[in-house]
Amino acid sequence: MTELFSEKRWTGEFFPAEAYEKRFCGEIQYSPEEGIIFSYTITGRNVPAETIFQNTLEASEDVLGAEHPQTLISLNNLAELYRDQGRYGEAENLFNRALASRKRILGDKHPNTLASLNSLSLAMVYQAQGRYDEAKPLYQSSLKVSKQVVGNDHPSTIAALGNLAGLYSDQGRYGKAHVLFHRALATCERVFGEDHLNTVSILHGLATMYQTQVRYGEAEFFHKPHPGDP
């Protein structure tokens, strides 16, 4: 399973640029070291990354409190690292903590709660383990709520649609996946344009599905270098 529709990409909530310069409560400043975490994870140096995430989370809990929005972001960051390491039990616990806090403080339909749902981190943990029956209701619920609250053209709704398409693809339900991927692609192209990163993410999802189906011609088309690629 390839994570294409994460909270970091679709909402920009993780690691906002201004966080590096802001002081919270006059006492805590986000360390520039957070900026190198992804280089650690990309190169497999997960121990330093884990240490930085844990230290950031502990500092945020001490200064801002356990349910401050920035603390919940730090909690989610650590959970994502555990998920990427295959430490699914630990990841599941942290994702549940973050989501429960957001629901309790902000309500089920607050944009930050939707962002947490639409990163679908907990569902992705289930999906990575082949626990499709547990992942599917989370994806479907996220899509339904996003449509109701922010509308069909919102990035959160498109992300939820892409996540559900990815689940169907992993299950081998290619007909359903194809329909949802193309629906998300059409919306992305209309709302963001062909060169936007969100559009490219959908294209990569389609390409991955076609490769799985041994439809290499179509996969090659969707994997071609694209102006929106980073």
Q: Domain holding 106: CATH number?
A: 1.25.40.10
Kindly report, residue by residue over 156-186, the tens digit of the pLDDT: 889 889 999 999 999 999 999 999 999 999 9
Q: Contact at 8 Å (CB) between 111 and 10?
A: no
In a shared domain, residues 63 and 162:
no
Please list the residues that pair with 23 across neighbouring strands: 29
Q: What is the mean pLDDT of residues 3-29?
A: 38
What CA–CA distance (Å, rounded) separates 112 from 10?
12
Domain count along the chain: 2
In a shared domain, residues 148 and 211:
yes
Which tokens hold the place of 50?
A: 């884990």
Dump strand ranges (E) for the chain: 23-24, 28-29
Number of other CB atoms surrounding residue 72 within 10 Å: 25
In a shared domain, residues 122 and 87:
yes
In a shared domain, residues 40 and 102:
yes
In a shared domain, residues 111 and 145:
no
More confident residue, 226 or 122: 122
117 confidence band (pLDDT: 50, 70, 90): low
Q: What is the mean pLDDT of residues 56-75?
A: 91
Q: Could you tell me the pTM of the whole model?
A: 0.67
In a shared domain, residues 28 and 78:
yes
In a shared domain, residues 50 and 139:
no
What CA–CA distance (Å, rounded) separates 95 from 121?
7
Q: Whole domain around residue 31: which residue ranges?
A: 1-129
Residue 1 has pLDDT above 50, yes or no: no
Residue 227 has pLDDT above 90, yes or no: no
Residue 48 has pLDDT above 90, yes or no: no
Phi-psi region of 209 (alpha: psi -120 to 50; beta: other; left: phi over 0): alpha
In a shared domain, residues 220 and 147:
yes
Q: What is the mean pLDDT of residues 69-89?
A: 89
In a shared domain, residues 41 and 93:
yes
Residue 27 has pLDDT above 50, yes or no: no
Residue whose pair of structure tokens reads 């102006």 in the numeric block: 227
In a shared domain, residues 193 and 111:
no
Of 129, 159, 179, the position where a domain reaches its end is 129
Please list the residues that pair with 17 across neighbouring strands: none
In a shared domain, residues 2 and 115:
yes
Of 129, 157, 173, the position where a domain reaches its end is 129
